[in-house]
Amino acid sequence: MTTWDQDALISPPIRPIGGPSEHPTVNPIANQSIRLGIMASGSGSNFEAIVQAIHSGQLNAEVPILIYNNPTATVVERAKRLGIPSICLDHRQFATRELLDQAIVEVLLSYQVDWVVMAGWMRIVTPVLIHAFPNRVLNIHPSLLPSFKGSKAIEQAFESGVKITGCTVHHVVTEVDSGDIVMQAAVPVLTNDTLETLQARLQIQEHKIYPVAIAIAVGQRISEN
């Protein structure tokens, strides 16, 4: 059976195949630190991966605020443990998506955020948010875009019978899951996979590429230590 070198299936590659370092870092002197406003709706594993990448020096950034929209989302527990301020903007309390996004923008601006990072944000955003941070809103989607856009992307891929799926970091535009691609990682769909096992392997790659994709998008130089 053919084995996969998962690092070889990341584009652009995180490091040259056979390179000396598993985790690239950014040069903190050559790169200006950025302020990331992170938005999440669920458990927040990508949120934590980003914060840990900052702590390890992989990404020269800080996270002054986490916004979540689901009062029961467990991401808030991660935020408390990591010492990140958080605020809940329950979408059910807003009459329209635009009013929710306006409230989000006000919070992000009050924390002087440079870039917006959607890390499992399960709401379609509107031009209110996109235009407030032009070309500075990122999202991660659990498929190899442009395939399997929208909700339940893992289920779509699983049920379609494809042998390769993956995850994509992309810029957010008004058309869902259609912005310019920053980075992708491919993940094989194994014959004995379930939705749960496939999702678990996808998350491993999401956690690996999202911090690097953020660094690429904001123009930070990746060091191969």
What is the CA 95 to chain-centroid distance, rounded?
27
- The two beta strands, 181-188 and 137-141, are unpaired
Asked about 141 being catalytic, the answer comes back as: yes
Exactly one of 23, 55, 131, 141 is catalytic; name it.
141
Six token digits for residue 18: 């056979």
- Report the C-alpha gap between 125 and 175 in whole angstroms: 10
DSSP letters, 80-138, are HHHT--EEE--GGG-SSHHHHHHHHHHHHHHTT-SEEEESS--S---HHHHHHSTT-EE
HSE-up (13 A, CA, CB side) for residue 50: 34
- 3-class DSSP assignment, residue 13: coil
- Report the C-alpha gap between 210 and 139 in whole angstroms: 9
Burial 147-162 (b: 16+ CB within 10 A, else e): bbeeeebbebbbeeee
The catalytic residue positions are: 141
